[in-house]
Amino acid sequence: MTTPHPPFGRFFLPGPTEVRPEVLDAMRKPVIGHRGPAMRELLAGIDPDLRALFGTERPVYVSTSSATGLMEAAITGLCGRRVLALVCGAFGDRFRAIAERCGRPVDAIRVEPGQPSTPEALREALRARPGRWDLVTVVHSETSTGVLSPVADLAAVVREHDDLLLAVDGVTSVGGVEIRFDDWGADFLLTGSQKALALPPGLALGVASERALERAARVPAASFYFDLLAFERRAREHQTTNTPAVSLFYALERQLGRIRAEGLAGRFDRHRAMAKRCEAWVDGLRATLDSGFGILAREGYRSPTVTAVTLPPTLRAGDLVRALDERGFTIATGYGDLKQRCIRIGHMGDHTVAELEALLTETGEVMRTALLASSAAPRIGGS
Ligand SMILES: *Cc1c(COP(=O)(O)O)cnc(C)c1O
C-alpha cells in the first residue's frame, strides 16, 4: 500500500520544502533500537557527508527537534552574559526572542527589510561597548526577506575579540549554499531538515567549535535536552542523546547519498541558477507588466534559496497565493509586516530550474490576470 505522490515541482514554500518520493520511501524501514549496532553504523556512515555539508572536521550533531531547538541550545549553552542579536528579518528576531525568553539580556542591531547584517555595524557596536556581549547571533539566509548576510566577514569581526562567540542560523543556507564552518571561524551553526536539505520536518543539525564547547562547560543552567556537551559527547561515539526519530534518520541517510551523488558544488550551482532565474523573471515582470515589481533583498546580498518579490500596491500577496493554489502550485506570502506586500518563492532543496520555470509561468499569468482585474475595477465603478 503506497500513498500516491503529486507530481514533483509544485510545492515552493520556503520551508518546509518538497521531499523526493525515494527519500520518503526510505522511512519505511523497520524501527530499530537506537543503542544497537545498526544505529551506530548509520550514524558513522553519515558522519563524513555531514562534515562535508558543514565544511568542518568537527562532529555534526543531529537533534530530534525542529531547528528552533538548536537555536535554544546555542543561547542556553553559549551565553553566560549578554547576547548581541543581528536582526535583518523575522528569524533574526526569533534568535533575539529566544535569548529574552531564556533569561539572557539581549541587544539587537536592526536593519531595514531587504538589507543584510553588516560587518561594519557589528565592528562599530563591539568597539563602542567592548566586553558587553559574549555571544553574537546571526541568520545566514534570512527566510523572511531573502537576504544572505556575509557570515564569513561577520565571523572575522567576532574573531577580533576575545571571549566572544558567533552562533549562526543556517536553516535556509545549509544544503543550498557553501558552508565553511571551520574556515570562517564560527562557533555554532545549525539547520533544520525541512529547508534546503529537502527532508521531512523533525530533525535539526548543528556543529560547535572548540571555543563553544569550552564556553558550554562554564555556562550554568544549560538545558537538559539541548545540552551541547551531551550532543558533542554522543556524536563522537556515533550515538544520539535521547531516543531519535529513527525513521527520519533513514531519510537523512538516503538524502545525504543523493547530495553526494549530485556533488556539493553542483548543488550550490543549481541553487544559484534558480535564484538568477527568479531575478531575471522579476526584471521581465517590471518591463512587461508593472514597474512596481521588485526584489526585496539588496543586490549582492540575495539568497540562492529564497526570493521575496515585492508587489505593486494594487496586488495582494494573499490573493496571488490563493490563485496559484487553485492551479496546483504552492508559494508563500510575505512574512510578518510584509505579509501582503511580498510573495516568497522557496527555490531550495531538490527543485530544478526547469520546475521553477513552470511555477514562474503560472505565477506570471496569475499576476497578469490580477493586474487586469484591478485596472478594470475602477473603470467599471466610475462609468
Ligand atoms: C524555518 C526557519 C527557522 C525555524 O525553524 P524550525 O525548524 O521551524 O524550528 C529558523 N530560522 C530560519 C532562517 C528559518 O528559515
pLDDT of residue 174: 98
Q: Would you say 308 and 338 are in contact if contact means Cβ atoms under 8 Å apart? A: yes
Give bridge partners of residue 153 from the DSSP assignment: none
Ligand 1 atom, smallest distance to 142 CA: 13
Q: Measured from the CB, is residue 241 less than 6 Å from ligand 1?
A: no
* Top CATH class, 264-372: alpha beta
Q: Measured from the CB, is residue 149 less than 6 Å from ligand 1?
A: no
Q: How confident is the model at residue 376 (pLDDT cuts 50, 70, 90)?
A: confident
pLDDT of residue 378: 56
CA–CA distance, 230 with 70 (Å, rounded to integer): 13
Helices 67-78/210-218 angle, 10° precision: 70
Q: Measured from the CB, is residue 145 less than 6 Å from ligand 1?
A: no
Task: For residues 297-318, give the mean pLDDT.
Answer: 98
Res 290 pLDDT > 80: yes
Which residue spans within the chain are E strands per DSSP? 61-64, 83-87, 106-110, 135-139, 141-142, 147-148, 165-169, 188-192, 203-208, 294-295, 306-310, 332-333, 342-346
Q: Which of 86, 139, 141, 171 to mutate to test the pocket of ligand 1 (most atoms within 8 A of CB)?
A: 171
pLDDT of residue 221: 67
Q: How confident is the model at residue 375 (pLDDT cuts 50, 70, 90)?
A: confident
Q: Measured from the CB, is residue 308 less than 6 Å from ligand 1?
A: no
Q: Which three cell numbers stand for residue 242?
A: 535521547
pLDDT of residue 4: 74
d(CA 186, ligand 1 centre) in Å: 19
Question: What ranges do the domains of the chain cover?
Answer: 22-261, 264-372
CA–CA distance, 177 with 304 (Å, rounded to integer): 7
Q: Measured from the CB, is residue 173 less than 6 Å from ligand 1?
A: no
Provide the edge-to-edge strand list for the sheet that holds 342-346: 294-295, 306-310, 342-346, 332-333
Helices (H) and strands (E) in the chain, counts: 13, 13
pLDDT of residue 383: 38
d(CA 357, ligand 1 centre) in Å: 26
Res 2 pLDDT > 70: no
Q: Measured from the CB, is residue 67 less than 6 Å from ligand 1?
A: yes
Q: How confident is the model at residue 364 (pLDDT cuts 50, 70, 90)?
A: very high
Q: What percentage of residues in the chain have a pLDDT greater than 70?
A: 97
CA–CA distance, 361 with 356 (Å, rounded to integer): 9
d(CA 225, ligand 1 centre) in Å: 19
Task: For residues 174-200, give the mean pLDDT.
Answer: 98
CA–CA distance, 27 with 288 (Å, rounded to integer): 46
Contacts of residue 18, Cβ cutoff 8 Å, sequence gap at least 6: 8, 9, 10, 11, 12, 198, 349, 350, 351
Ligand 1 atom, smallest distance to 140 CA: 13
Q: Measured from the CB, is residue 139 less than 6 Å from ligand 1?
A: yes
Res 248 pLDDT > 60: yes
Task: For residues 74-89, give the mean pLDDT.
Answer: 98
Ligand 1 atom, smallest distance to 194 CA: 7
d(CA 149, ligand 1 centre) in Å: 16
Task: For residues 31-55, give the mean pLDDT.
Answer: 97
What does CATH list as the number for 22-261? 3.40.640.10
Considering only residues 222 and 326, tell me which one the structure prediction assigns the higher pLDDT.
326
Q: Measured from the CB, is residue 335 less than 6 Å from ligand 1?
A: no
Res 382 pLDDT > 60: no
pLDDT of residue 381: 45
Peptide bond into 16 cis (omega under 30): yes
* Residue 115 DSSP one-character state: P
Confidence (pTM): 0.96
Q: Which of 193, 195, 306 to mutate to test the pocket of ligand 1 (most atoms within 8 A of CB)?
A: 195
